[in-house]
Chain A
Amino acid sequence: MKKYIVILALSVLFLQTPKLVAFCGFYVAQAGAQIFNNKSEVIIVRDGERQTVTMLNDFKGELKQFAMVIPVPVVLKRSDIRVMEQSLFGSFDQYSAPRLVEYFDENPCYDYEAREDASLVRTNVAIVQKAGGISVRGNRDKVNIEAQYSIEEYEITILSAKESGGLEAWLKANGYSVPENAKEVLEPYIKDKMKFFAVKVNLEKAKKLNREFLRPIQIAFNTPKFMLPIRLGMANSTGDQDLVIYAFTKTGRVEAANYRTVEMPTAKRIPTFLRGEYANFYKDMFSVEYAHQGKNAVFVEYAWNVSPNWGVKCDPCVGNPPIVQDLINAGVSWIDQQNYTGNVFFTRLHVRYNRSQFPEDLTFIETPNTNTYQVRQILTHPATGNFECKEGVQYLSDLRTRRRLELEEMQALAGWKASDYPLYTELGKGDKIPSNEQEQEQQRNWIPLWISGGHRPPGWMLPILLILGIGAVVAFQKIRDKWFLSDL
């Protein structure tokens, strides 16, 4: 009996390791930032105290309705503000998005290196996003207009204020619709001597440009505060908002200083029928992980050295690596264009925030952590042909076990019920057959997921561990006193 268990355990182990180790899989799909609703995207480049922030809006209403207000630490000069092309975000998103790769099993009954070509199915990325500004309309006083610029299709005003009432009145008088509770959010920034960067669209110029989307705006300034103001964006929204941050530094990963930064689950083996559904799968996987991590974490989705002279930047790559020009456009000013020298580290962070879980603006630290990371899930296609040999029979049996594990992984990661795909373990295609097998589900859920594997144990484990600690000390002392010190 023992022997049997060992063999089974080994075969599972073997199945857990990709068989075609030489290949790192064929990239099949990605889950880009566009799949999330109610979302903003931001590129932050941090070089010492120099910070370049590029923001993109997926504003879908009438252009004359568009307006955005962002707190900034200084009065920006005209040369510090640029209008960028949307493709910049597209290239960073595509390159760093969570990815799906596939492997192909070899038929154990043949002696050949069978490998089918993977047809690359690329999801087209149409970047849409929503910035955390307040959209707006309505008087004025005690407000200083520090500067006014007309840059391409945007009319930009930089304001400073003595008190929030005045700022609110000014915004209203100038056609910005201010949410009711904006005042209490504006106040702290005013008292902290922040300026306000207010943007509206110049309708005539916008018409001439004839664009479907509003182009991203880039601002650059010097500040010791490495932060992103998210509070203002929460003034007119009660629900969850997604924020994808593409951060570039000289030294290493960027992580949140005031929230927990965690990596998404990666290198998990999931069922092959998810091939065309990865974007939806990832969307649900993000929601599940977000909830499991307590709804207040910042997630790392990609971290890699993307220096122009650095070799491998992903494994496998989802899109073309960001070209030097993209990096320079984003504000990475330290690359030597001639010699391609300069160290650039790329971190992609994904935050889902709301007012109750994120009471404070996001602050960041630039760490020397250069560990590479990417969200990458794996499909393994079974071998084809006949299996009329001893190894073939074993293979089919292992395959069933593997497929059952893949289904369990799918359920743990994204909450998609394994029992909905009964044919998959029978080596069928995995058509969805919604099950009503409540009993079976209940039986499964009797053991919490964090014990059966995969998920994070609950927070109350901390007091339990501490009590165990006290118990250990008391027991240790009692035993020692009784057995070792009794002769003293």
Chain B
Amino acid sequence: MPAEKHIQTDARFYQIAFQSAFLVFGTWVLGWQTEILRIAVVLTACLATQAVFVFMGKQQWHSLRSAFITGLGLSLLLRSTHIWVLVLAAVLAIGSKFIIRYNGKHIFNPANFGIAAVVLITGKAWISPGQWGSDVYYPISILIAGIIVLYKVQRTETGLVFLATLFLLEFGRRYVFLGWPFDLVIHRLSSGSLLVYALFMITDPMTTPNHRGARAIWAAVLAITTFILSWRFQIYEAPIWALLLITPFTPLFDAFFKAEKFNWFQYSTTHTKAI
């Protein structure tokens, strides 16, 4: 019964579980500037927009899971005092998946597109990179949860190459060149927001290259771009802009490095068989 097995191992359930846990923790323990009503509105807006496209026959029903993940991603990262800004972000995020497409894949990471668009257009939204603070439990927990999900969607190399490249760049600049103590480098790299971004956002199977080697190069380029934006231009939300700049080049990577397109169920099947 392959059909059952497919659904059974859909990694998106884990993404939903983990990102929900982050959100509960952030709101309950870390005192984020968000509330249940806002989260509910964003999730509803994402699901409703996706449902419209499903009705139009553009997608299957199980794609609502992806929309749910996008909604959680927006709730984790985006802050605004205006609910309409959050709704706009949700609609643009999901809408971008169906409107901005090339070669059967959407170009932009939906949550990232939604965030970038409202920050740029409305000026009434922001992201709080410091919202996780530093505590030894957070980076380790996020890392483990992230690796579980990445292993399931076979994107482990993407997240790890990104983090490793960024670590080398920060280590080189701050520790080796400037001479700051090592704990400063650790402090910069253990930011919860950065880890959630690296493990749960950039690794979206649909907007990363299909070929494994290509993904490693792609992740390294993304890390270098992030580093340049934050160091040379002092942009605090550098990772968001870097991803917006890099994802349009994904089709180029796909053209050079041939590999099969990701399918939420195809990889799951391989897994089940392997086990």
Q: Residues of A with Cβ closer than 8 Å to B?
A: 184, 187-188, 191-192, 224-226, 251, 255-263, 293-294, 296-298, 359-360, 363, 365, 367-371, 456-457, 459-463, 465-466, 468-470, 472-473, 476-477, 481, 485, 488
Q: How far is the CA of A473 from the CA of B16 in the complex (A)?
A: 9
| A463: chain B residues within 8 A (beta carbon) | 137, 140-141, 144
Chain B positions within 8 Å of A256 at CB level: 130
B138 and A258 within 8 A (CB): no
Also in contact, A473 and B141, with CB within 8 A (given A188-B180, A365-B126) = no
A-B contact pairs, 9 of them (CB 8 A): A258-B191, A260-B133, A261-B131, A262-B30, A296-B134, A371-B81, A469-B20, A473-B16, A477-B13
Q: In the complex, which residue of chain A has the Cβ closest to the Cβ of B232? A: A224
CA distance A258 to B188 in the complex (A): 7
CA A192 to CA B1, docked complex, whole Å: 62
Please tell me the size bucket of the interface on B. Answer: 35 or more
- A360-B188 CB under 8 A given contacts A188-B178, A256-B130, A466-B21: yes
The CA-CA distance from A360 to B175 in the complex, in Å, is 12
Given A257-B236, A359-B186, A466-B145, 16 other A-B residues pairs in contact with their CB atoms under 8 A: A251-B123, A257-B130, A261-B128, A262-B31, A293-B133, A294-B133, A296-B133, A360-B187, A360-B188, A365-B128, A457-B29, A461-B28, A462-B29, A462-B137, A470-B17, A485-B7
Closest 10 CB pairs of A and B: A260-B133, A469-B17, A465-B21, A224-B234, A188-B178, A459-B137, A367-B126, A459-B135, A359-B183, A359-B184
Interface centre among A251, A297, A473, A488 (most CB of B within 10 A): A473
Do B233 and A224 have beta carbons less than 8 Å apart? Answer: yes
User: What per-residue 1/0 map shows which CB atoms of B21-60 lie under 8 Å from chain A?
Assistant: 1101100111101000000000000000000000000000
B29 and A456 within 8 A (CB): yes
Q: Report the minimal beta-carbon distance from A28 to chain B, rounded to whole angstroms.
A: 27
- Expressed in whole angstroms, the minimum distance between the Cβ of A339 and any Cβ of chain B is 24
Q: Which of B3, B124, B125, B188 has the most chain A CB within a 10 Å cutoff? A: B124
Nearest B residue to A368, CB-CB: B124
Check A263 against B31 for contact (C-beta < 8 Å).
Answer: yes
Contact A488 B1 (CB under 8 A): yes
Contact assessment for A260 and B131 in the assembled complex, using a CB-CB cutoff below 8 Å: yes
Could you say which residues of chain A place their CB within 8 Å of the CB of B191? 258
| B63 contacts A by Cβ under 8 Å | no
**Alpha-carbon distance between A481 and B6 when the two chains are bound, in angstroms:** 12
- A259 contacts across to B, CB distance below 8 A: 130, 133-134
Contact B1 A188 (CB under 8 A): no
Q: In the complex, A259 Cα to B192 Cα: how many Å?
A: 11
Minimal beta-carbon separation of B6 from chain A (angstroms) = 11
The residue of chain A having its C-beta at the shortest distance from the C-beta of B13 within the complex is A473
CA A256 to CA B3, docked complex, whole Å: 49
Complex Cα gap A346–B4 (Å): 58
B104 at the interface (CB under 8 A from A): no
* A481: B residues at CB distance < 8 A: 4, 8
Cross-chain contact of B17 among A251, A360, A460, A473 (Cβ < 8 A): A473
Q: Give Cα distance in the complex from A456 to B31, angstroms.
A: 9
A470 with B14: in contact, given A258-B129, A296-B133, A365-B126 (CB under 8 Å)? yes
Tell whether A369 pairs with B236 under 8 Å between CB atoms, given A258-B191, A469-B17. no
Flag if A368 contacts B125 (CB, 8 Å).
yes
Contact with A along B146-171 (1 / 0, CB 8 A): 00100000000000000000000000
Q: Given the known A-B contacts A369-B81, A462-B25, A469-B20, are A294 and B135 also in contact in the complex, defined by CB atoms under 8 Å?
A: yes
Chain A contacts for B31, CB-based, 8 A: 262-263, 456
Q: Does B256 contact A (CB under 8 A)?
A: no
B135 and A255 form a contact (CB under 8 A) = no
Pick from A255, A360, A468, A476: contact of B21, CB below 8 A. A468
Is there an interface contact between A191 and B30, defined as CB atoms closer than 8 Å? no
Q: State how many angstroms separate the Cβ of A375 from the closest Cβ of chain B.
A: 14
CB–CB B233/A255 < 8 A = no
Contact B126 A465 (CB under 8 A): no
In the assembled complex, which residues on chain A have CB atoms less than 8 Å from the CB atom of B130? Answer: 255-261, 298
Check A359/B3 contact, CB under 8 A, given A257-B236, A263-B31.
no
Select one of A255, A365, A466, A485 contacting B4, CB under 8 A.
Answer: A485
The reply to whether B29 and A459 form a contact with Cβ atoms under 8 Å apart is: yes
Contact between chains at B29 and A461 (CB < 8 Å):
yes
